[in-house]
C-alpha cells in the first residue's frame, strides 16, 4: 500500500505538508511567482478565471489578483490585469457565496456569463440524447455545463489576449473529479499538487472568509441532486484523500477506493493518444 501511495503522490507532484506558518507563506509566494512567470513568458498581460463560490476558485482568483498587482508594481506596466468571471447556470443557489468570493478576490474586472442558453441550445440540437435515462442525461448535461463554462472563459481569453487559469489540485486529480476538456482545461493550474487541506490553509492565510474556506465542496453540476457534496460522490472524505496523498496510513477500504478512482480516471490526466511508428 505504501509504495502505491508514494508512487501516486510523486506522479501528482504532491506538495509536502506545511510544517509551520513560514512554509505556508513561502508556498503562497511560490505560487504567485509561478503565475507571474507564466504570464510574462507567454508575452500576454491578462488572466481569466471562472469564480464558482468555492474555496478552490477563491484561492486561485486571489493568487491571480496578487500576481498581477505584483507585476504592475515590479514593472511599472499597469496593463497587467485579472478578469474574474461568474458563470452561473440560470440562477445559482449559492450566489451569495460567489459574491462573497468576488469581494475577497477583489479582481481588477468582473464579468458574468450565464451559460444556460448555450447549454440548453446544444442539448436541444443533440436529438440522439433524448433516449438516455434520466440519470445518464443528468450526467451528460452536467459535463456540458463544465465544458460550456470553460468555452466561455477561453472565448473571453481569446478576445482579451489572456491566459485561462484552472483550479485543479491533487485531491481532485487523484479522484479524477473534473470534466475532461471542461474544468480540466486551462493554460496554467496554480493549485497543482496541493491537497484540499492545503488549499483551505492558503485561502485562510490570505484572509478568505471562513464560510468559503470551510464550505462543503460541491461541483453542483447535477440537477437531480443539486449541491451534491464532492465527498458523497467520492465515497471517501477529503481528510482521507489528503492523508492518502501525504502517504499517511489509511484503511484498506479507503486505499482501494482512491486507487480505483485514480486508475479509472487515468485518461483524464493524459494528453490525447497518438499513433506510434
Joined grid coordinates for residue 252? 484498506
CA count, 13 A, side-chain hemisphere, 180: 10
Residues in the chain: 277
CA 110 – CA 49 distance, rounded (Å):
10
Joined grid coordinates for residue 207? 484572509
Q: How far is CA 65 from the centre of its chain?
A: 16
Cβ–Cβ < 8 Å for 148, 119: yes
∠ Cα 95 108 70 (to 5°): 125
Helices (H), 43-94: 55-75
**Widest CA span in the chain:** 58
Q: How many CB atoms lie within 10 A of CB 198?
A: 25
Cβ–Cβ < 8 Å for 36, 73: no
Phi, psi of 48, rounded to the nearest 5 degrees: -130, 135
For residue 172, indicate whether it is catalytic: yes
CA 61 – CA 49 distance, rounded (Å):
7
For residue 222, indicate whether it is catalytic: no
Q: Which is the catalytic residue, given 27, 94, 172, 183? A: 172
Q: How many CB atoms lie within 10 A of CB 142?
A: 21
Q: Which is the catalytic residue, given 27, 56, 220, 230? A: 56
277-to-211, 255, 271, 272, 274 alpha-carbon distances in Å:
54, 38, 17, 16, 10
The catalytic site residues sit at 56, 172
Amino acid at each position: 500500500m505504501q509504495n502505491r501511495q508514494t508512487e501516486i503522490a510523486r506522479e501528482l507532484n504532491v506538495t509536502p505538508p506545511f510544517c509551520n506558518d513560514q512554509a505556508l507563506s513561502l508556498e503562497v509566494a511560490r505560487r504567485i511567482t509561478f503565475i507571474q512567470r507564466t504570464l510574462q513568458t507567454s508575452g500576454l498581460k491578462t488572466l481569466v478565471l471562472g469564480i464558482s463560490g468555492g474555496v478552490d476558485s477563491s484561492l486561485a482568483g486571489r493568487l491571480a489578483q496578487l500576481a498581477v498587482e505584483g507585476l504592475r508594481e515590479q514593472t511599472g506596466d499597469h496593463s497587467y490585469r485579472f478578469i474574474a468571471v461568474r458563470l452561473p447556470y440560470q440562477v445559482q443557489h449559492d450566489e451569495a457565496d460567489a459574491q462573497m468570493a468576488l469581494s475577497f478576490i477583489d479582481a481588477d474586472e468582473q464579468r458574468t456569463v450565464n451559460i444556460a442558453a448555450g447549454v440548453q441550445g446544444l442539448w436541444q440540437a443533440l436529438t440522439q440524447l433524448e433516449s438516455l435515462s434520466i440519470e445518464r442525461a443528468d450526467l451528460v448535461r452536467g459535463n456540458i455545463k463544465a465544458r460550456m463554462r470553460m468555452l466561455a472563459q477561453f472565448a473571453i481569453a481569446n478576445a482579451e489576449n489572456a491566459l485561462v487559469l484552472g483550479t485543479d489540485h491533487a485531491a481532485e486529480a487523484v479522484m479524477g473529479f473534473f470534466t475532461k476538456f471542461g474544468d480540466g482545461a486551462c493554460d496554467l493550474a496554480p493549485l497543482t499538487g496541493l491537497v484540499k487541506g492545503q488549499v483551505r490553509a492558503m485561502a485562510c492565510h490570505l484572509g478568505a472568509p471562513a464560510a468559503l474556506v470551510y464550505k462543503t465542496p460541491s461541483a453542483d453540476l447535477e440537477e437531480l441532486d443539486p449541491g451534491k457534496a464532492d465527498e458523497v460522490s467520492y465515497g471517501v472524505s477529503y481528510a482521507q484523500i489528503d492523508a492518502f496523498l501525504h502517504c499517511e496510513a489509511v484503511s484498506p477500504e479507503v486505499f482501494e477506493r482512491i486507487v480505483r478512482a485514480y486508475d479509472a480516471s487515468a485518461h483524464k490526466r493524459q494528453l490525447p493518444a497518438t499513433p506510434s511508428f
